[in-house]
Amino acid sequence: MSEPEPDSEARRIAGAARDRIRFEEEALGLADQVYRVARRLVGSREEAEDLVQDTYARAFRSWRSYTPGTNMRAWLLRILTNLNIDRGRRIQRSPDLQPLEETDYYLANRVAESRGEQALEQERVVEGLSQDSIVNALSSLPHNFRDVVVLVDIGEFSYADAAQILDVPIGTVMSRLHRGRRQLKQRLAEEATA
């Protein structure tokens, strides 16, 4: 009757425990950054706390599916955004069906400049905005745009990482990002001149 050598089995278990602890510590070290993104994806602090807790519970349960050495922050955010969708978030109509956007500020400024008016007045306008205005403008974006703007502008993820997190093509990330940022600026300008 053969048995596994007690020593090698014990070593294996100890090794797995070490891997797990290392994983958990690395994951917890990222909690602040994960929360920062979560907070801008949902409506309230309470929701963000719940979402982050659920994310970490799932992450700890499925720690073996994380490949060591890869981007753990992106891995955690992937769990988080999937959970956020699972929570029965209202499905947005495809952004392509949104009404035609206003003229790009660039063009508006060009025109204004040619008429001798002040270009880039947006600068002063935006700098005067409060945190509330920024936060409100972000939360008013359609979900599809907001997810990308938050991941790239708040989470500082690359286009490729954002594409992986959201499971969309990189071209979609770029397009939603560009349009999301444009809408954000429009909302900020509205807030500032209200």
Partner 1 sequence: MSGIGDCEKCEELLQGFLDRELTAAEHELAELHLNGCDYCRRRYTFEASLRRYVRLTAAERMPPGLMAKLVQLRGTDAQPSS
Interaction site with partner 1 (CB under 8 A): 20, 24, 28, 31-32, 35-36, 39-40, 45, 49, 52-53, 56-57, 60-61, 104, 106, 110, 113, 119-120, 122-123, 126-127, 131, 134-135, 138, 152-154, 156, 158-159, 174, 177-178, 181, 184-185
CB nearer to partner 1: give 14 or 60. 60
Residue 45: CB minimum distance to partner 1, A: 6
Cα–Cα distance, 127 to 113 (Å, whole number): 21
CB nearer to partner 1: give 40 or 73. 40
> Is the Cα torsion angle 130, 192, 182, 133 positive or negative in sign?
positive
CB nearer to partner 1: give 64 or 87. 64
**Which residue is associated with the tokens 């278990």?**
13
Residue 134: CB minimum distance to partner 1, A: 5
- The pair of three-digit structure tokens given for residue 70, joined into one six-digit string: 């890869």
Cα–Cα distance, 122 to 193 (Å, whole number): 10
CB nearer to partner 1: give 85 or 135. 135
CB nearer to partner 1: give 78 or 138. 138
Provide the b/e sequence for 28-54 (b: ≥16 CB within 10 Å): eebeeebbebbbbbbeeeeebeebbeb
Contact 74, 80 (CB under 8 A): no
Residue 120: CB minimum distance to partner 1, A: 6
- The two most distant CA atoms of the chain are separated, in Å, by 94
Residue 191: CB minimum distance to partner 1, A: 13
CA distances to 61, 101, 129, 149 from 123, in Å: 47, 21, 11, 20
Residue 76: CB minimum distance to partner 1, A: 11
CB nearer to partner 1: give 134 or 168. 134
Residue 88: CB minimum distance to partner 1, A: 23
